[in-house]
Amino acid sequence: MTASVTIDFISDVVCPWCALGATALEQAIENVAGEVSVALTYKPFELNPNMPPEGEKAVEHLMRKYGRTAEDVASGKKMQIERGAAIGFKFDLEKRTHFYNTFDAHRLLLWALEEGRQVALKKILLRAYFSEGQNPSDQQTLVRLAGEAGLDEARAQQVLVSGAFAEEVRELEAFYQQHGINSVPAMVLNGRHLVSGSQSVEYYEQMLRQMATAPAEACFIEFQIPLLLEVYIMSNSKKVIVITGASQGLGDGMVKAFRELGYQIVATSRSIKPSTDPDILTVAGDIGEPETAQRVIREAIARFGRIDTLVNNAGIFIAKPFTQYTAEDYANVLSVNVNGFFYITQLAIAEMEKQGSGHVVNITTSLVDHAIDGVPSVLASLTKGGLNAATKSLAIEYAKRGIRVNAVSPGIIKTPMHGEETHAALGALHPVGHMGDIDDIANAVVYLDGAKFVTGEILHVDGGQSAGH
């Protein structure tokens, strides 16, 4: 007996991740045919509801709206083209010169649903925009594309001219926004389970098979009835982790460790380079600036749909006698170590609250607990000590909201900042007689991420430094 699943696919015609998600879902539906019967409906979401009729140049739009650099935009295009090619969707982003308003396209899609041709029209609209650079806000273009989808062009023209389905589009958009869907693609399965972001064909296949055997209470609920959308996470679904200071040393080690575990990674630092791995999103910028934090979280949600873990790894250490610190030293350390924690953590926890779960890990230092003669570290103790205190405070504040907050407090670790000629002397500063490795810290963060009963913990990975001399 074939099981049934309903899918409401909330998306926009000019959203590249929606195009990727729709294409992957289409292939997954084909792959489970005979096992699962899928009723797929496309629902409206406008990325640019206030876009003027002439649209806006694509590169300028992305730079203005998302704070991206021209290099960021080029890197994003390259990744979209590669991911599209892997599943058979062609992006020709040289032809896609502008972003446009899509309200009329959504009206036409709702009419096409009544005519039984919505899925066909959606596929044609995505191809026309991303592969051919056609304007989805131009009514004559929409009429012609409706004809290609097997719809009556005269009736399509009448729908567009009359303003039909305008109220329905606005009501649906408002409904989804009221229920916390602020980025696309997003899918609501069987009326109550939410899957966010563009996922792989394999992910969607397993999702459909699991939903087909879900309990009866997950049945479709009419949209007129208020409901609380539940976040649906498969047991082996990819978790999303944001790592700051990710270009080298501890941060790079954590990126590798979590990628091996199948996580989707958002990696940020000033000098980070684009990644060819579709499950690694890199965002270059100064983490001490609020604009960088906003861009990291915004792009993480747009790309992967959620944030499960944030690792505040970015930090700088300046070893000087206290009276020799300059105002510039003080400002730089506070910017990275404190501002770099505050701005992004605030935004990440806000997203975690929407999900009802999340985890924050702060990377501090055992110098907070164990000052070393000859290693002046007042600014490190001031800032990282503050993070230790903030870790405990946040852990208590958010304990009943499903969000855990912990810290890893390292000793001296073998990273590129310590030349090999210093290892013996630095190792002698630890009771165990040697320095730690990057993997020691990465493994500690991995442990904390899986330790669901641990919160408010300052985990010392310091070769015994914090225990005593």
In whole angstroms, what is the distance from residue 405 CA to residue 424 CA?
Answer: 34
Provide the sign of the torsion angle of the four alpha carbons 436, 437, 443, 449, taken in this order.
Answer: positive
Shared fold status for 3-231 and 240-467: no
Q: Is the pLDDT of residue 84 over 90?
A: yes
Q: What is the mean pLDDT of residues 393-399?
A: 96
Q: In what order do the strands lie in the sheet with 309-312?
A: 280-284, 264-269, 240-244, 309-312, 358-363, 403-410, 458-461
In whole angstroms, what is the distance from residue 232 CA to residue 208 CA?
Answer: 12
Please provide the distance, in angstroms rounded to a whole number, between the alpha carbons at the two ends of the chain: 69
Cβ 406 vs Cβ 456: under 8 Å = yes
Domain borders along the chain are 3-231, 240-467
At residue 230, the pLDDT reads 42
Pairing of strands 3-11, 186-189: antiparallel
Predicted confidence (pLDDT) per residue in 179-227, tens digit: 878 788 989 988 878 888 888 898 899 889 888 876 544 433 333 323 3
184 DSSP 8-state letter: S
pLDDT > 90 fraction of the chain, expressed in percent and rounded: 65
Predicted confidence (pLDDT) per residue in 277-321, tens digit: 888 999 999 999 999 999 999 989 888 888 999 999 999 988 889
Fold that domain 240-467 belongs to in CATH:
Rossmann fold (3.40.50)
Fold that domain 3-231 belongs to in CATH:
Glutaredoxin (3.40.30)
Q: Which residue has the higher pLDDT, 229 or 455?
A: 455
pLDDT > 70 fraction of the chain, expressed in percent and rounded: 95
Is omega for the bond preceding 185 within 30 degrees of 0, making it cis? yes
